[in-house]
């Protein structure tokens, strides 16, 4: 449902506002779904990056942190702050699944060589 909102109304500020409200819900399942929809829906947007960053670092549920870290890696792969966050999460997160994702996502954010080289 949240993905449909993000895909159906990507330029509507009310859609983004609604998803952000769900992202701060008490239930981790709701937060997870909302954060998962926000990442690709507004990748590249600095305000969205800051919003996701908070979840990547401080959400109490590892699954929400994981989806936020992944969204940052995919939405801001060229950002040096993203790479630093991925490295930090790979070593400092309290949950082993988040730590395990760090090296994979760090590799995914490395600049690619142009083809033919």
- Comparison of pLDDT for 88 and 32, the residue scoring more: 32
Residue 112's pLDDT band (cuts 50, 70, 90): very low
pLDDT of residue 105: 57
pLDDT digits (tens, 9 = 90+) for 59-88: 999 899 889 988 888 888 888 888 888 888
Give dist(CA 63, CA 111) in Å, integer: 27
The two structure tokens encoding residue 57 = 């670092």
Give dist(CA 61, CA 24) in Å, integer: 12
Residue 46's pLDDT band (cuts 50, 70, 90): confident
């Amino acid at each position: 449902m949240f993905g449909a909102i993000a895909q159906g109304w990507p330029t509507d500020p009310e859609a983004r506002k609604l998803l952000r409200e769900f992202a701060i819900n008490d239930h981790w399942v709701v937060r997870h779904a909302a954060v998962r929809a926000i990442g690709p829906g507004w990748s590249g947007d600095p305000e969205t990056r800051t919003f996701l960053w908070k979840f990547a670092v401080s959400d109490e549920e590892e699954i929400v942190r994981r989806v936020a870290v992944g969204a940052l890696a995919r939405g801001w792969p060229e950002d040096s702050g993203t790479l630093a966050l991925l490295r930090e999460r790979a070593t400092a997160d309290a949950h082993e699944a988040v730590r395990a994702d760090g090296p994979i996502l760090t590799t995914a954010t490395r600049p690619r060589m142009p083809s033919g080289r």
